[in-house]
Each structure stands twice: as structure tokens, then as C-alpha cells.
């Protein structure tokens, strides 16, 4: 894929199902439960060479349900960040939405609040020069609402159910990273 990506671009990443293994019917509540999907540390190392900013945007309603605390989430993210740094990669910011889906929080994807927070803190973000990589329809809607390119990570059959929201499809982050030409 060649979209003219250079160091002025920003990559937004969903977390569960993209960076780490999703726990069906549950939440990653402790560092011990956090397991990288194969190839992700290497993919993020490659992304670190390409993108100006790498930002994680993740819905975490397990907090709103009382199944975990913000501190629990911070410990999970510390493990993730430490391993990414040890692999030569970086993530510049992590934003999370703790609200329940039923609360219609402006932070919770597909709402755009986490993207707007990132732009406020990292002033040189241009959504026209941004990509969201995620494994859900809400990730794709988030990206479209902000004018980003969208990359669906996962099963192409699922991505084809909403073709108007998906620009590219890759089975995993490493395959996506390998497709980028710099």
C-alpha cells in the first residue's frame, strides 16, 4: 500500500483484538492476561520508523462494569509499553473510554472523543493524514467520522459486510506493517 505516508502521518490503533489477544466474553484485567498477538511488537517497531505519532484508542467498559479499576488498566498498559519499548518500538499516547456502551459517552468509539483528545494534546495531528487500524465496525466508524483512512485487522469476510467504512483489510498488524512502503 502506498498512500504517500511519511513522518507527518499518525497511526491510531485499537487494542483488544489488534495489539493483544481478545478474551471472549471477558476483559484483560491484569498484566498476566495481556498477550500480544504474534508479530505485534515487530509491527509497532516498524510503525515507529514510519509514523510521527502512534496512538492507542481503546474502549474499556470493564471499568464501567466494576470488573477492573483504572489502576488495573494502567498496569496492563505498563506491561504493553515496556514490551514495545524493549522491542524497539513506541506508542506516544494511550486513550481509553471507561464508560458503558449504554452511556453513549463522547469518548467511547464510535464517538470521536479520543481522537479529538489526541489532536488537542499532539497538536500536529491531521486526521486526513491519519489511519485507524482496528478489528471492529466501531473502529471503522470512528475513523470515517474523523476523515481517516481505515484499516480493518482480521477476517476479510467481516470487513466486506461494511465496505463503505473499510479502505484496507489485513489479517494482522505485522502484515499491514509489511505492506507499507517508506
Note the pLDDT tens digit of each residue in 139-180.
999 999 999 999 999 998 888 888 899 999 999 999 999 999
Note the pLDDT tens digit of each residue in 68-89.
999 999 999 999 999 999 999 9
Catalytic residue (choose from 6, 16, 26, 135): 16
Grid cell in block for residue 82? 515496556
User: pLDDT confidence of 3, banded at 50, 70, 90?
Assistant: confident
User: pLDDT confidence of 46, banded at 50, 70, 90?
Assistant: very high
Three-class SS state of 1: coil
111-117, long-range: CB < 8 A, 24+ apart: 111/142, 112/142, 112/145, 112/146, 114/57, 114/142, 115/12, 115/57, 115/142, 115/146, 115/148
CA dist 104 and 45 (Å) reads 34
pLDDT score, position 158 = 84
Cross-sheet strand order for the sheet of 53-59: 93-97, 53-59, 10-13, 130-134, 149-153, 168-170
pLDDT score, position 50 = 95
User: pLDDT confidence of 2, banded at 50, 70, 90?
Assistant: low
Three-class SS state of 178: helix
Domains by residue range for the chain, with CATH: 29-179 (3.40.50.1000)
CA dist 52 and 6 (Å) reads 8
Note the pLDDT tens digit of each residue in 98-134.
999 999 999 999 999 999 999 999 989 999 999 999 9
Catalytic residue list contains 92: no
Catalytic residue list contains 38: no
pLDDT score, position 182 = 62
pLDDT score, position 1 = 62
Catalytic residue (choose from 6, 14, 135, 167): 14
CA dist 110 and 50 (Å) reads 26
pLDDT score, position 18 = 98
Note the pLDDT tens digit of each residue in 8-29.
999 999 999 999 999 988 999 9
Amino acid at each position: 500500500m502506498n498512500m504517500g505516508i511519511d513522518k507527518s502521518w499518525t497511526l491510531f490503533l485499537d487494542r483488544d483484538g489488534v495489539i493483544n489477544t481478545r478474551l471472549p466474553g471477558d476483559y484483560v484485567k491484569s498484566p498476566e492476561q495481556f498477550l500480544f498477538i504474534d508479530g505485534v511488537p515487530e509491527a509497532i517497531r516498524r510503525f515507529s520508523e514510519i509514523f510521527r505519532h502512534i496512538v492507542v484508542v481503546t474502549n474499556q467498559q470493564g471499568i464501567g462494569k466494576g470488573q477492573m479499576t483504572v489502576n488495573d488498566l494502567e498496569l496492563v498498559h505498563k506491561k504493553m509499553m515496556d514490551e514495545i519499548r524493549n522491542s524497539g518500538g513506541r506508542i506516544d499516547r494511550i486513550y481509553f473510554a471507561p464508560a458503558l456502551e449504554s452511556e453513549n459517552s463522547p469518548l467511547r468509539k464510535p464517538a470521536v472523543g479520543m481522537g479529538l483528545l489526541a489532536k488537542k494534546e499532539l497538536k500536529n495531528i491531521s486526521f486526513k493524514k491519519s489511519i485507524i487500524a482496528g478489528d471492529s465496525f466501531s473502529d471503522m466508524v470512528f475513523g470515517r467520522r474523523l476523515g481517516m483512512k481505515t484499516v480493518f485487522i482480521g477476517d476479510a469476510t467481516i470487513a466486506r459486510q461494511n465496505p463503505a467504512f473499510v479502505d484496507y483489510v489485513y489479517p494482522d498488524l505485522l502484515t499491514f506493517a509489511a505492506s507499507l512502503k517508506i
